[in-house]
Amino acid sequence: MTTVEHVQPGHETAEITAPDAGPVRRRGRRRGLASTIVWYLLLLVLAAVVLYPLVWLFFATLKPSSEFGRNSGLLPWAPTLDNYARVWDGIAGIPLWRYALNSLIVASLAVVGTLGSSALAGYAFARVAFKGSGIFFAAMIGTLLLPFHVIIIPQYIIFNQLDLLDTYVPLLIGKFLGTEAFFVFLMVQFIRNIPRELDEAARIDGAGHLRIFWSIIVPLLRPALVTGGIFSFIWTWNDFLGPLIYLTSPENYTLPIALRLYNDATSTSDYGATVAASLLSLIPVLLFFLIFQRMLIRGVATQGLKG
> Residues in the site for other proteins, rule: CB under 8 A?
64-70, 72, 91-93, 147, 149, 152-153, 156-157, 160, 165, 241, 244-245, 248-250, 257, 260-271
Nearest to other proteins of 35, 249 (CB atom):
249
CB of 267 vs other proteins, minimal distance in Å: 6
CB of 235 vs other proteins, minimal distance in Å: 15
Contact 61, 275 (CB under 8 A): yes
The three-class DSSP label of residue 267 is coil
CB of 275 vs other proteins, minimal distance in Å: 12
CB of 248 vs other proteins, minimal distance in Å: 4
Helix (H) / strand (E) containing 277: helix 271-306
Q: Identity (one letter) of the amino acid at 77?
A: W
Contact 187, 122 (CB under 8 A): yes
Nearest to other proteins of 227, 238 (CB atom):
238
Nearest to other proteins of 58, 156 (CB atom):
156
The three-class DSSP label of residue 4 is helix
Cβ atoms within 10 Å, residue 83: 24
Q: Which residues pair with 94 in a beta bridge?
A: 91
**Closest by Cα among 108, 114, 128 to 213:** 128
Cβ atoms within 10 Å, residue 126: 19
Nearest to other proteins of 233, 262 (CB atom):
262
Contact 56, 74 (CB under 8 A): yes
Cα dist from 235 to 4, 96, 107, whole Å: 10, 20, 8
Nearest to other proteins of 128, 158 (CB atom):
158
Nearest to other proteins of 22, 79 (CB atom):
79
> C-alpha 130: how far from its chain's center?
33
Helix (H) / strand (E) containing 240: none
Nearest to other proteins of 64, 223 (CB atom):
64
CB of 46 vs other proteins, minimal distance in Å: 25
CB of 154 vs other proteins, minimal distance in Å: 9
Residues 6+ apart with CB under 8 A from 54: 282
CB of 296 vs other proteins, minimal distance in Å: 25
